[in-house]
Every structure is written in C-alpha cells, then in structure tokens.
Amino acid sequence: MLHPATLYDVPRFEPFPALRYLTSSSVDITAVTSPPYDVFDESVRATYAKHHPHNIVALDYPIESDGPGRYQECATTLADWVSSGVLVTDDQPSFSIYRMTFTDEAGNSRTTIGVIGALEVVDEGSGGVLPHERTTPKAKTDRLDLTRATQTNLSPVWGLSLSSGLTDLLRDPAETIATCTDEDGVFHQIERVTDPLRVAAISQCVSAQPVLIADGHHRYAISRTYRDEQRQRQTGGRHNGAADAELTMTYVGELVDEQLSVAAIHRLYNNISADELVNALSLHYDTSDAGQVSPRTISHMSTHGVLCVVFPDGTGVYLHPKENTFTGVRALDSARLEHALANTPHDVSYQHGVTDVITRLTTGDAECAILIRPVSLEEIRRTAHTGELMPPKSTFFTPKLRTGLVIRQMRA
C-alpha cells in the first residue's frame, strides 16, 4: 500500500559535485567535522572549534553573540577555505554512500547504509516528500539566514525511502573518500559513486517512491523558503527547474529494520511537580514503583508496555495504560501523553538519553520527566502510508550523521 500521493508525485534525487575537505595525512577528518548543529550548545561548539581551525562549526554554527554579521562571516570563511584549498569541489556530480558502524543499545554491532544526494524540494502537501511528525515552532531564522549568506547546504536532511532495493544498490563498496570515528565510537565512512550506470540506478530507485523526512523537517522547510526566494529572484516567480535551489542535500536510507536505529525523545516538565503530573495522569494510567531509574529502565518499559515518570531524586514510577481510556488516540506514547495532559497546564521540553534526562533533573533544569518508548518501524511505515503526523519529537534517529563530510554549494 502506498501513500495516495505516490500515484502522481515522486521526487527527483540527483548527484551533485560535492564540496569536501581535502584529505591528506595532515588532515584529521574527525577533528574538522562535528555532530549536527542542533544536538549541542555553544559551550560544546567552542570545544569543536578548538579541535581544529577548520572545524565545520566555523561555517555551520554562527555564534549569536557575534551579531547580525555572523552569517556573512560564515560565508566569507567558506569562500576563504575554498580559495585556499581547504575545501575542494569534485570535478563531476556524484552520490556519496554513507556507512555508519556502531554498537546499538542492546550491545549489537551494526552497520547502516544510506546515500547523500540532492532531493527535490516540493511544495507542502504536494506529495513525493512527506513529513514524519509535527514540528515545534522555530522562533529563530538562523538556518535560513545562513543559507542565504552561504548559498550552501552545510548539513543534510535525513530521509527514509519507501523504495525497496535501495540498500542492495548501496552494498558494494565504491571509492572511499573519508573516514572518521566520532566521540561516541561510531565509525563513519564516505564513498564516492560516479559510475553512470550505478548513479542512474540509485537515482531511479529513490525517485520511484516517496521519501519520508525522518530528521531535519525544519531544514527542509527552510529549503522550500529559499527555493521560493530564488525563483522570484531569478525568474520573476516563474518555475526554473534547473536552479540549484530546487534541490536540497539529503541523506536517504531505505525504510527497513536493518537500516534504522530509533531512540525515544523523552519529556521534561516544568511548572508542574512530579506529584501533580502523576495525579493529572491518573485517569489514564495506573502506577507501580520503578525504583532508581537507569538506562536499564527502558528495557523494562519495552517489555511491559509502560512509561516511567522520573522524580528529581532519580527514582520513578511506571505508568500502566488503563484500558479503554485512549479510544481514538494513536498507540504512541507521545500521542497518549498529549491526550492525557491536554487540559493540564505545564511546560514541556525534550531530551534523548536516560542519563541526560536524569542530569537535567538533578541540575534543576526540569521539575520532573517522563521516559517514553521508541517508535516501532511498523508505526513509522504506517505513518508514511496514511499521511498522518506523529506528535513533535516522537523519534530520535541514531547514530547522528557527521556534519562536514559532504557539503553542497548552490549557484545563486
């Protein structure tokens, strides 16, 4: 069963001449790359900047304290790095196979495979490229301002392809361009594909079915705004299919179990105490003692189908869903919590990782928390087929792609 839009709309997925760090014995790729900009703060950004004078954060993470000229400064730095040979552009369009080898939460060694290319930017609701979950409001426009200044895709959107067979097209090795091992022990490997037949096969496979946005909804929305601005600038509002802004850099993996590692994004609460939270949820959940909360708590939750409220002292209680209280509500922990707390005043924020949740509680960043379970592959696939949206911050796809391994410049 396919999403109705697939009968009419499928996205273009094309190779492009990648901008890459010039690799040599003197360049440590780990030292010049970073995680995605939205998973760390300015203090961690400063640490990456100290790793190497050419670390990607100098381009991808403008510092707000540097004022309104910070975006143009990023553009100037980018131009300097290109002119001095720090970054070099491939002499022909290519796809970049991206392999990540890591140990998952269960202790299993795994390797996932995807491909970085240029995915068509489509209008909202037109099909072809589908949203995965509702997004939280973004007050800042820094990604759009940075794109305007640099005319560059500095980090990829993460997409999931509904086309079967993509993984098989990516299994054979290609020309290795860069490797690195990040601070979490994940081994990243980039391979360049230029063979015309293989390029065509990958392009046709991804373009045969819709792509579901897994991570980077905001970046994709920014690409749509930037595309519209470029259309207006270049053609007086008329469509120009050849413009680079019609596409945006995207990592695409196949929507199959072996290619996905999905973690939960837990809920942190303020302006409501843990006792008040438990009381507000009592119409929908029974409770039992969880003891001291740890990463092992997630395993118990998955086995028994429960959630867990975490108190400021690190202890918790399990939440057991009551029968017949979630009629008409999707069987997602995030959706059920939204429903159960709809009439209860509270402030909610989001944090992945049980240890990080407990740290946020002990430092007073939140009054209490609820641990939820990862969303299943079956539910992600059902979302793609039905066109429904999950609540904000329902899924956390891991490991995170390394920013700086592949860059895409656009012509104005």
Kindly give the pairing relationship between strand 265-270 and strand 347-352: antiparallel
Give the separation between CA 350 and CA 40, rounded to whole angstroms.
13
Neighbours of 108 (CB within 10 A): 9
Q: What is the pLDDT of residue 381?
A: 79
Phi, psi of 149 (to 5 degrees): -75, -45
Measured CA to CA, the distance from residue 146 to residue 155 in angstroms comes to: 12
CA–CA separation, 379 vs 156, rounded Å?
Answer: 24
CA atoms of 15 and 32, how far apart (whole Å): 24
pTM listed for this prediction: 0.83
Contact 94, 199 (CB under 8 A): yes
Amino acid in the structure at residue 149 = A
Among 164, 179, 56, 162, residue whose Cα is nearest residue 111: 179
Give ∠ CA 87-88-93 in degrees, rounded to 5: 130
Residues of the chain below pLDDT 50: 1-8, 139, 240-242
Q: What pLDDT is stored for residue 133 in this prediction?
A: 67
pLDDT at position 66, please?
Answer: 87
Residue ranges of domains in the chain: 4-261+398-409, 265-373
The pair phi, psi for residue 73, each rounded to 5°, is: -65, -40
**Do strands 157-161 and 247-254 pair parallel, antiparallel, or not at all (unpaired)?**
parallel
CATH architecture of 265-373: 2-Layer Sandwich (3.30)
In one-letter notation, the amino acid at residue 147 is T
Q: What is the pLDDT of residue 44?
A: 94
pLDDT (0 to 100) of residue 310: 97
Instruction: List strands edge to edge, sheet with 285-292.
Output: 285-292, 315-321, 307-310, 368-371, 265-270, 347-352
What does residue 283 show for φ and ψ, rounded to 5 degrees? -70, -20
Other Cβ atoms less than 10 A from the Cβ of 109: the count is 8
Q: Give the amino acid at 373.
A: R
Burial of 269 from C-beta contacts in 10 A (0-12 / 13-18 / 19+): buried
Tokens of 100: 């990540």
Instruction: Give the pLDDT score at 385.
Output: 72
Q: Where are the beta strands (DSSP E) in 139-277?
A: 152-153, 157-161, 175-181, 187-193, 211-215, 247-254, 262-263, 265-270
* Backbone phi, psi, residue 49, to 5°: -60, -30
Q: What confidence tens digit (pLDDT) does each residue in 296-340 have?
A: 898 899 899 999 999 999 999 999 999 889 999 988 899 899 999
Structure tokens at 323: 């029968």
